[in-house]
Structure 1
């Protein structure tokens, strides 16, 4: 029987997270939609053969920030931190009980970190398959301290699923935007794995902001150089191979005179897929300028479920 891991940070309390399988980490917050996000994450975990782990992240830098504003706060810092941690554990148990009533078993984990890098280190030690995080609402705290979601999208090497917070719905239709910049293979592979386990269909879509490409009949026709032709050939081959499986799929090539990301947003809003699977480099500045901005734009401008898959 696999043993639960030990607390992996000095201030992290282990509540028995198994390492026998990959884990889907479900980050919780005090929002009204937290139960819906937890339900969505637990459903994914069960369907994909992974453990579901509810994670509450307590950022010590928040306490430090308050102490820098109010010196008198420092003397009460530990007392307040202990109180907050106890309250968080109670909230985790409430969500766990909610899921238990629906026949879904989850594990829980409370983590206290001092930086975003500490958070990533803690996540990586939990053998994560992906991280499910609720969509954040803009508020004054994010204005001063920065958005944790934004940092995850930009810096995390792990797949990030941004949940809409809507009522639970199974994933039956996935949309996968593909480009010829060399990263779409990652999102295609993830979508294929999920389609098999969730019995979903995949809608591949390529948008080209060039009306001259309106007569293109294949991805290869859209390639502008040898490198892109290589990428187009690879993607075409992988998509064609789906015909030998039971995965239902289709590929659409769309030419537009508007910006590609604006056109993609229009299509997502119109077709309302259950999940949009997107590729992002997360590292290389030039690639992130193109693909990273796509992901951030979609997360901020649509309420769809967005899965962001990073380059290896």
Structure 2
């Protein structure tokens, strides 16, 4: 699929979309991209009501966004947004968290989950005030999808610094707990990282702004820790790959990372969805 230089912002026309709207505007300016705002109406919405909502929304836009194209569709929001992104060859979908529960925790909800699973382009979930991404953590299982996620993030954010993180475990660890075994598996993981970094697709320019971390432990905990240690602005995850963290139907670990990460999260899905 040929990608256009267009960012598709998923908006529900409420203040809840303010954070992703501000971040999408900043990214569009930084990338020299067009910003298109998309809203999906229920299929039973009256034509007059739809027109009125669009008019009110346009009036509410800040001056800097008055020029943006506003497009609408009817149907199930996640399905229609994914379809719009594919039909328009969008470069990126930007969205926000769906809601908060009674404790104030972020709940991503069906729309974001569907987009991450099915959208043909990366999905950026915005959680914080707008900012240029300077410190980016990328989780890797050394698979082609995780390489694609790294390369895509590096292309999108050419001035950022990257921390590439891999967590390794020891099979039957409750039985094998010696220092020698830990050292052996660490060496294997580090050798795999070196092989991963030797890809001809990773340029010297990218290597110069990338540091690697190989750590023993549960993937979600290791990645979450690096987000904190790196004071990351953005976490990048591949939504499929060879490990439980990255399989196509988002696993419990990656879903937890996507939902609990305090920074924004970029999900990159390798290949064209079925």
3-state SS of 1:311 partner: coil
Q: Does 1:205 align with 2:205?
A: no
Which residue of the other structure, out of 45, 53, 58, is the alignment partner of 1:87? Answer: 53
CA distance in structure 1 between the partners assigned to 2:226 and 2:3 by the alignment: 40
Which of 98, 102, 114 pairs up with 1:151? Answer: 114
1:120 is matched with which residue: 75, 82, 91?
Answer: 82
**TM-score if structure 1 supplies the norm length?**
0.69
Residue of structure 1 in register with 2:230 after alignment: 271
Post-superposition shift, 1:276?
A: 1.0
Q: How far apart are the structure 2 equivalents of 1:251 and 1:286? A: 18
Deviation digits for residues 48-71 of structure 1, max 9, x if unmatched?
Answer: 2321111112232xx4xxxxxxxx
1:2-35 alpha-carbon deviations (Å, 9 max, x no partner)? xxxxxxxxxxxxxxxxx99421101112453423
Q: Is the 8 A contact 2:73 2:80 kept in 1?
A: no
* Alpha carbons 1:181, 1:287 under 8 Å: kept: no
For 1:305, the equivalent position in structure 2 comes to: 264
Against the structure 1 CA distance between its residues 135 and 235, is the aligned structure 2 distance closer, same or farther, given a 3 Å change threshold? same
**Where does residue 106 of structure 2 map in the other structure?**
none
Give 1:187's match in structure 2, choosing from 105, 125, 149.
149
**What's the TM-score once normalised by structure 2's chain length?**
0.77
* Runs of 5+ unmatched residues, structure 1: 1-18, 64-76, 141-145
1:37 and 2:37 matched: no
Alignment-derived partner of residue 126 in structure 2: 163
Structure 2 residue aligned with 1:3: none
- 2:173 maps to none
How many residues align structurally?
A: 254
Change (3 A) 1:191 1:217: farther
Q: Which residue of 2 aligns with 1:222?
A: 189
Match of 2:36 in 1: 53
* Change over 3 Å in CA distance of 1:29–1:247 after alignment to 2: farther
TM-superposed CA distance for 1:214, in Å, is 4.9
Give the helix-richer structure, 1 or 2.
Answer: 1
Write the distance in 1 (CA, Å) between the matches of 2:189 and 2:90: 36
Q: CA deviation at 1:93?
A: 4.0
Partner of residue 105, structure 2? none
Cα distance change of structure 1 residues 115 and 200 upon mapping to structure 2, 3 Å threshold: closer
1:296 corresponds in structure 2 to 255
Query: What is aligned with 1:237?
Result: 198
Please, what is the CA RMSD of the aligned residues?
Answer: 3.5
Task: Give the C-alpha shift of residue 117 in structure 1.
Answer: 3.6
Q: Gaps spanning 5+ residues in structure 2: where?
A: 103-108, 171-176
Please give the alpha-carbon distance, in whole angstroms, between the structure 2 residues aligned to 1:243 and 1:286.
28
Question: Per-residue deviation at 1:233?
Answer: 6.0
